[in-house]
Structure 1
């Protein structure tokens, strides 16, 4: 096999040949327990349409070669080809779970997923007081057409392969809509919960000042209060859930739902930014508020 032959191998067939099988399917996306690390909840995605993978836990993705580089800890292409050939599926074929077709919530066409660099989006993040480099480690720049017009926005990935989309004039999502779940490098007993990704990015911006990054903590973003039922199963595997929800009726209802349905310790941390609607407002008011509340927020974590 040459490298072009190797790239034609279906990723889901290759993964099946090395003993990895999908645990969920969302349209053309298959979700796996990552073959690159230990995890309890599937956060490794394979898009069968474009034959690409993405591991949400480490923020890496690509084709079968880039996967082999990490699996076999080598950048020697000839060695990687030999390793893939050794495990290349001949008659092995993964049995995909059946799934009902998903009807998109919006008619997005010609979707492009790019690095986050557009000046208008960078300006928007600045207006929300979000650290740009922090946002770039998680978010993408999405370009798409809908109803005959071209749009672009900040894309925040979820566990099902969809995206939440934001720009100064638009708030929506590319289906499937789901929660977002990020894992630390080592298993954690505590998970921090947020309603939306702007609050999550606000929290990460505050933590960046203490060099406390994505890999040191588990985080779950609901992406909608209506997704709280989807969060119950993954959150049930922790000993403690700490909620950074909005200081409004919707936020209180989500907290009560988690408190009632989870048989673990659930903490309401919204008091740490009392007087603000949410974490983003708290972040944006930093320059006018005394420094003590900011230290109190960090100390409360």
Structure 2
């Protein structure tokens, strides 16, 4: 496991970009971002590239990488180090020159690439979910990549393939509307699509956080619903988010007990059902339906 010194040595610019936050303006000394912890229209988050420290003028807080990750994820130090153990970023102290990254989306299309389809099938999804996704072709520092894309309310994209996890453009929540007064809340879009695959007919609205840093924006959105169903991850960050929503909304109900032995709803789906859409000898499909209140 990495230690705090190693995490603080990472180039924070690279960390921010990996989380889907691109600078609004920058030069060789500093970079300015929209508030990565909330919603703003003016860039008030300053990154000092030479010292590798940040300051958020709208809240009067700042610090090093550990300080940023604690606030961004609402993690403890141990949780940060656990998260960091799976990541690899450039060391700030080894950087002699910081080059402005070149990010661009070159194509947005229906999913056709077989590798992406295979990846989705391996995550337990079927063609039924494809209408909520796009095939995104993009470049990072002139390297051509492609991934499954899930759009958020600000036109940004959550990107996934078998070897890449990231986001491009502005970070935000995503919502699937179904004109309901009930809403189901997930952290990631794979969990949300897994839920949809379970339903013969989707009756609720769905909110996807895409990052727990979007919790405050999600709270504002959830105020209009009579019932809030929580399907959050069974890890420390997910449990903290669940507790925050339960304390904020008397009409919120926790459903994480349904997959208590798994990290998240998608993992439960893959392990428990191995595909969850089963076919009998005649080729007829049968869907498993979650026993939620109000679905009958």
Please give the TM-score of this superposition, normalised by the length of structure 2: 0.59
Contact persistence 2:125–2:275 (CA under 8 A) = no
Q: In the alignment, what sits opposite 1:202?
A: 194
Q: In the alignment, what sits opposite 1:4?
A: none
Does the alignment pair 1:261 with 2:255? no
Q: In the alignment, what sits opposite 1:244?
A: 231
* Cα deviation 1:262-292 (Å, max 9, x = unaligned): 3x4111101011211111111111347999x
Q: In the alignment, what sits opposite 2:103?
A: 108
Contact persistence 1:206–1:283 (CA under 8 A) = no
How do 1:45-60 residues align onto structure 2 when only pairs under 5 Å count? none
Aligned partners of 2:163, 2:175: CA distance in 1, in Å? 26
1:100 Cα deviation from its structure 2 partner: 3.6
Does the alignment pair 1:272 with 2:264? no
Q: In the alignment, what sits opposite 1:192?
A: 184
Please give the TM-score of this superposition, normalised by the length of structure 1: 0.58
How do 1:16-95 residues align onto structure 2 when only pairs under 5 Å count? none
Q: In the alignment, what sits opposite 2:157?
A: 163
Q: Which runs of 5+ in 1 are unaligned?
A: 1-97
Q: Give the match's secondary structure for 1:286.
A: helix
Contact persistence 2:160–2:166 (CA under 8 A) = yes
* Cα deviation 1:154-179 (Å, max 9, x = unaligned): 00000011010000011010120100
Q: Tell me which of 280, 292, 296 is aligned to 1:300.
A: 292
Aligned partners of 1:169, 1:296: CA distance in 2, in Å? 30
1:194 Cα deviation from its structure 2 partner: 0.3
Q: Give the match's secondary structure for 2:111.
A: coil
1:261 Cα deviation from its structure 2 partner: 2.6
Paired residues in the alignment total 192
**Higher relative contact order by CA 8 Å / sep ≥ 6: 1 or 2?**
2
Aligned partners of 1:126, 1:243: CA distance in 2, in Å? 25
Contact persistence 1:272–1:296 (CA under 8 A) = no
Q: In the alignment, what sits opposite 1:72?
A: none
Contact persistence 1:144–1:150 (CA under 8 A) = yes
Q: Tell me which of 262, 268, 271 is aligned to 1:285.
A: 271
Q: Tell me which of 121, 127, 150 is aligned to 2:144.
A: 150
1:300 Cα deviation from its structure 2 partner: 3.0
1:259 Cα deviation from its structure 2 partner: 1.8
Aligned partners of 1:141, 1:198: CA distance in 2, in Å? 15
Sort the Cα spacing of 1:297 and 1:270 in 2 relative to 1 into closer, same or farther, 3 A: farther
